[in-house]
Structure 1
Amino acid sequence: MPSDDRRRFLDEFVTLLAGWNMPANAAQVYGFLLLQSEPASLDEMAKELEISKSNACKAAKLLETAGHIRRVGERGSKRVLYVAREDFGTPFLLRTASLGALNRLMETRGAKLADPEAVRRIEELASFYGTMQSAMEQIITADTERADKTI
């Protein structure tokens, strides 16, 4: 069982990531892996977090698909271990692409379809999405370069 301080950290982490629509078990597993210096197995995660191994497995699959964690092999074993990714921007790549799509939608169709009084708002929203996409791309690029140096 985690220490009281680790438990409080994980509880707060779960609460904060709920706002990003991350399930509680996935947030717990992600927080746990962020705090680990070594890869962890599903058995270790389940035991430490007091969740079932099947819930740990579901959480790990979700986190891996989203780009938050990755699998690592263990020499001479078929056991799967997981670590938190070092490139923190990976999970945001889809959101960044989505901002670009929203920008294009507002610019190409939204402005044409909006009531005359709403065109300014649509154009400003398109600009906001474009600015957010550009900023996120710069941050992700810088983070990827940082992660590449640490690996």
Structure 2
Amino acid sequence: MKGHEILEKSRTSVIEAISQNMNLYGVTPSAGRLYALLFFSDKPLTLDEMKEDLGMSKTSMSNAVRTLLDLNMVEKVWIKGVRRNLYVVKEDRYQPFFDYFTTKWRTAITMNTSMIEKSIATLQELLAHPETTEETRKLAHCVIKKLDNWLDYYGWLNRLIDSFETKDILNFIPIEKRKD
């Protein structure tokens, strides 16, 4: 196998691996291939260049680029004399993870915490009702205790998310560069 073929096979393998794991960011494999293509490119690419390389439709390509822009994983760049939009992978690979992680988890925590708090309030009303049986009271107290444990967990998750947003997490798990 010639050197160029080895390089291309290696590049293709990595592109495929990245594309299959981009679902962690809620991204389709095709958007993942686009991201990997931009990662390997030594220059900014237009939609047409990406379309040609990946064989995707212009609509699919445009949607994938928009998704990656929204996730802060790629950015538009401007080069004098070029009229078409050009795209590159953002240099900071950590920030998109922080952004995606915090957004997804904050949304889930808010929704779950709200539902748990409403359930606790409903159970407390049940406990306050004079006709509630002792057996029902015991069950309600047990459920409230379990729900309080969930609220403790979500409080911990909120603090973890705060550490991602402030980047305090990097004090505990610093970014380290591989040594060549």
Note whether the superposition's TM-score is higher than 0.5.
yes
Aligned to 1:117: 142
- Cα distance in 2 between the residues matched to 1:4 and 1:56: 23
Aligned to 1:66: 71
Cα–Cα, structure 1 residues 97 and 18, in superposed 2: closer, same or farther, change >3 Å?
closer
Aligned to 1:12: 17
| Distance apart, 1:108 and its partner CA | 2.7
Aligned residues: 145
Superposed, 1:19-34 pairs within 5 Å as 19-34=24-39
| Distance apart, 1:16 and its partner CA | 1.8
Aligned to 1:141: 166
Which of these residues, 91, 97, 100, is aligned with residue 91 of structure 1? 100
Q: Which has the larger radius of gyration?
A: 2
| Distance apart, 1:106 and its partner CA | 4.9
Q: Aligned to 1:22, what secondary structure does the other structure show?
A: coil
C-alpha contact (below 8 Å) 1:106/1:125 kept by paired residues: no
Larger mean CA deviation between 36-45 and 71-80 belongs to 36-45
Identity over the aligned pairs, expressed in percent? 19
C-alpha contact (below 8 Å) 1:103/1:130 kept by paired residues: no
- Cα distance in 2 between the residues matched to 1:128 and 1:37: 45
| Distance apart, 1:59 and its partner CA | 0.5
- Cα distance in 2 between the residues matched to 1:65 and 1:117: 43
Larger mean CA deviation between 98-107 and 20-29 belongs to 98-107
Which of these residues, 114, 126, 129, is aligned with residue 154 of structure 2? 129
Larger strand percent: 1
RMSD of aligned residue pairs (Cα, Å): 3.1
Task: Establish whether residue 105 from structure 1 lines up as the match of residue 111 from structure 2.
Answer: no
Cα–Cα, structure 1 residues 93 and 139, in superposed 2: closer, same or farther, change >3 Å?
closer
Which of these residues, 71, 85, 92, is aligned with residue 80 of structure 1? 85
C-alpha contact (below 8 Å) 2:25/2:100 kept by paired residues: no
Q: Aligned to 1:78, what secondary structure does the other structure show?
A: coil
| Distance apart, 1:123 and its partner CA | 2.2
Normalised TM-score (structure 1) = 0.73
C-alpha contact (below 8 Å) 1:99/1:130 kept by paired residues: no
Higher relative contact order (CA 8 A, sep 6+): 1
